[in-house]
Chains A and B, each alone.
Chain A
Amino acid sequence: MSASSAAKPSVVTHALKDALIAGIVAFGLFVLLLGFLADDTLGKLRPLPRPVLLAAAVGIVFVGRFLVSLLYYNAAALRLLLGELFVSILALAKRFRFALLAAMVALAIAWVLYSPGDWPLATMIVVAILFAVWLGLTPALLALAVLFPIAFYSNPYYLGIAIIILTYVMLGWGLNIVVGLAGLLDLGYVAFYAVGAYSYAIIAQAYGWSFWVCLPLAGLFAAFFGVLLGFPVLRLRGDYLAIVTLAFGEIVRIVLLNWVSLTNGPNGIGSIPRASFFGVPFTADDDGFAARFGFEFDPTHRTVFLFYLILALALITNWVTIRLRKLPVGRAWEALREDEIAVRSLGINPTNTKLTAFAIGAMFGGFAGAFFATRQGFISPDSFTFPESALILAIVVLGGMGSQIGVAIAAIVMTASFELFREFEQFRLVIFGFAMVGIMIWRPRGLISSREPSVYLKERKTISAEHVAEGHG
């Protein structure tokens, strides 16, 4: 007791000292950058002093550093407080779920009454909460996904966003195999996405084969590239692996830019054949989907079909990953993440294990790429830049490496918030950065960081994050 109260002033002094140093550094940095404005209004260059701006900048740094210092030295207490808050909010929500539900329903009704145009969104929110409370998170999300196109049939904008979100969910799940399960940090995942998209576009255009033939081919090509990348980087671990995969991603993009005869270079490939409903195209003529099945022609049919297509692809990715985790290969991946030397001592070939992780992860990236190509109808190397890789990796890391539902939530939140904050164009990345820093401080292992065992003897106990390794490469 006495120790903590005695320590308190020192924490404040320490923070003050720290802030002072930061202030001095800031002054040194800003005195020329902000303190003076090079002015040449009279044809003569002279420095115009800007003391207020300088003082403001230094002041912000000083106060900010002081607060950070204070919070940092009390980090344990702060984290505990926030953690408790989170848990108690959850507990409260659970306890008053019926009241909550009633409030939501009331809100939704009010919403429908006052703005009838937006009723599907309100309904969806109510449905989501209903499902989440009674069924749990996973079935709620699933039900939501299945019902989504029905509710938003008349709103192609929302449908489009949902399709993008699902593409990222699928990419996140694909990368989760490599990063989350096998613990291999891959910064060039978008390369496989690109390989899938381009192989679909090129094959479909050159041979005129249908989507359902080209899709597996695109996946196979991407898997082949996964193995191709896997071989040289198998000996690398950690940072080195990350750098080489980053380079690989760039190499693929630059090859796509420069191999003009095959890829049409920076102009990209246009008029890529659209996906058909198992051979029935979504066109307005007599052979089209609408005429064949006796509907009025509506371009939304195709969008809805694309929605269910990517939903199915993503769910297949999820299903395969869940199955693989319970198979020897999946356990070997996780064991590899935990301790590679022990893996080798048990007679498991680490090379093959890493290669399968790379290949299967890449294959799903390739499927997603083929979907992207058929949805867009146009692809160019601009769609496969490094920030794309970074976004997918961020989804996996923020969601919780290895956790399927965590990755899905992260993909939804990140992609949807990108749309949500579209109005704040310039500040989008700032908000994104803050969210990332926040999560890394309060949930350093991602949103859902615990691990479900793949097999159990008596009871399945969730394994808390503290024991689970992140992998070293």
Chain B
Amino acid sequence: MAHEAILALNGLTMRFGGLLAIDDLSFEAKRGDITALIGPNGAGKTTVFNCITGFYEPTSGAIRVNHAGGKSFALEKLPDFKIAKRVHVARTFQNIRLFPGMTALENLMVAQHNVLMRASGFTIFGLFGLPGYRRAEREAVELARYWLEKTALTDRADDPAGSLPYGAQRRLEIARAMCTKPVLLCLDEPAAGLNPRESDELNVLLRAIQKETDTSILLIEHDMNVVMEISNRIVVLDHGKKISEGTPEFIRNDPKVIAAYLGVEEDAVDAAEAEVGA
């Protein structure tokens, strides 16, 4: 019986010198869900992502990913590329990180590096163009074509990624992450800079990923249109702490969340000041 939670954070703490960026954070993301991580600027959302994907090594705490097959991985000690390679956690970046001088198709081929590397006999068979590798490469192109179609980029497949418009670059980054066949896809502000129409299209794409693949999604997002519409569950961070967690309905009406985002009323400040004796 596979574990129900694809991702489980337990007591995650990240300290940069004197700054406590994440303070004893625990939450779970269910398999097949879209889980959103929200919070005001500087709440530590991207830091959580960097810990999950291994770009940071957390100060303490545990991060586990449970595969559907029953395998379970402790992520906190794995380096970044091994998390992507073995645990199949893929991510996108807040400031898009494509390979701008390579075509959209090439970007998606790079994402399938490990599969192709095995098929090419670690380059040796591939060098002599053995049929096994050629077949693997055709399959890789097919997978890339599938995701190009899903992200409406087929017409731009042979253009350099750096020449694509902003919205297309965002979609291409998601397509590239999907080409690694991830069990968990971490999206860092995928709707940032998108216009309303594009962010609606993003919703459709993310729903399709949820429905048609075995990939669970964890996303950081400021665009409430996206967050409220597609998330199954929302975790709210503020100053590195979890302040709330629940369904979109619940979060929308949680006074703690509203206070964190909008600040508190004047009299609440007065009450707090009275409490500490100021």
A residues contacting B by CB (< 8 A) are: 320, 323-324, 327-329, 331-332, 334-335, 337-339, 341-350, 356, 451, 453-461, 463-464, 466-469
Contact = CB atoms under 8 A, between A and B. Distances in A.
Interface stretch (B10-18, B36-44, B152-160, B263-271): B152-160
Contacts of A342: 93, 97-99
**Which of B101, B129, B176 has most A Cβ within 10 Å?**
B101
Contact of B98 (A339, A356, A456): A339
B236 interface: no
Contacts of B166: none
Interface stretch (B23-31, B83-91, B218-226, B237-245): B83-91
B151 interface: no
Nearest to A466: B162
B116 A328 contact: yes
Contact of B99 (A335, A349, A459, A466): A335
B102 to A, nearest CB: 6
Contacts of A455: 103, 105-106, 109, 137, 141
A267 to B, nearest CB: 41
B99 A334 contact: yes
B110 A344 contact: no
B127 interface: yes
Contacts of B184: none
Contacts of A451: 101
Contacts of B157: 456-458
A350 to B, nearest CB: 7
B215 interface: no
20 contacts: A327-B127, A328-B123, A334-B102, A334-B106, A338-B99, A343-B81, A344-B84, A345-B84, A346-B177, A451-B101, A453-B105, A456-B158, A457-B157, A457-B158, A458-B158, A459-B158, A460-B158, A467-B100, A467-B163, A469-B101
Nearest to B88: A347
B231 interface: no
A456 B103 CA distance: 8
B113 interface: yes
A338 B105 contact: no
B126 interface: yes
B123 A329 contact: yes
Given A328-B116, A331-B109, A468 B158 contact: no
The 5 closest A-B pairs by CB, nearest first: A468-B101, A347-B84, A347-B85, A467-B162, A338-B99
Nearest to B127: A323
B57 interface: no
Nearest to B118: A328
**Which of A341, A349, A466, A467 has most B Cβ within 10 Å?**
A467
Interface size class of B (residues with CB under 8 A): 35 or more
Interface in B121-164: 123, 126-127, 129, 133, 137, 141, 144-145, 148, 154, 157-163
Interface in B167-194: 176-177, 180
B213 interface: no
Contacts of A463: 101-103, 160
B120 A327 contact: yes
**Which of A327, A345, A459 has most B Cβ within 10 Å?**
A345
Contact of A339 (B97, B120, B154): B97
A347 B180 contact: yes
B114 interface: yes
A405 to B, nearest CB: 18
A328 B15 CA distance: 37
Given A348-B113, A453-B103, 6 more contacts: A334-B106, A345-B55, A345-B80, A461-B159, A463-B102, A467-B161
B117 interface: yes
A236 B90 CA distance: 26
A344 B80 contact: yes
Nearest to A402: B101
A339 B99 contact: yes
B21 interface: no
A345 B81 CA distance: 6
B111 interface: yes
A316 to B, nearest CB: 11
A385 to B, nearest CB: 33
A139 to B, nearest CB: 22
Contact of A345 (B91, B145, B148): B91
Contacts of B81: 343-350
Given A338-B99, A339-B97, A469-B100, A345 B113 contact: no
B39 to A, nearest CB: 22
Contact of B114 (A339, A344, A348): A348
A183 B232 CA distance: 43
B139 to A, nearest CB: 13
A358 to B, nearest CB: 15
Contacts of B35: none
B127 A328 contact: no
B66 interface: no
A347 B111 CA distance: 8
Nearest to A353: B113
Nearest to B117: A328
B53 interface: yes
A106 to B, nearest CB: 44
A457 B145 contact: yes
Contacts of B101: 334, 337-338, 451, 463, 467-469
Contact of B106 (A323, A347, A454, A458): A454
B103 A331 contact: no
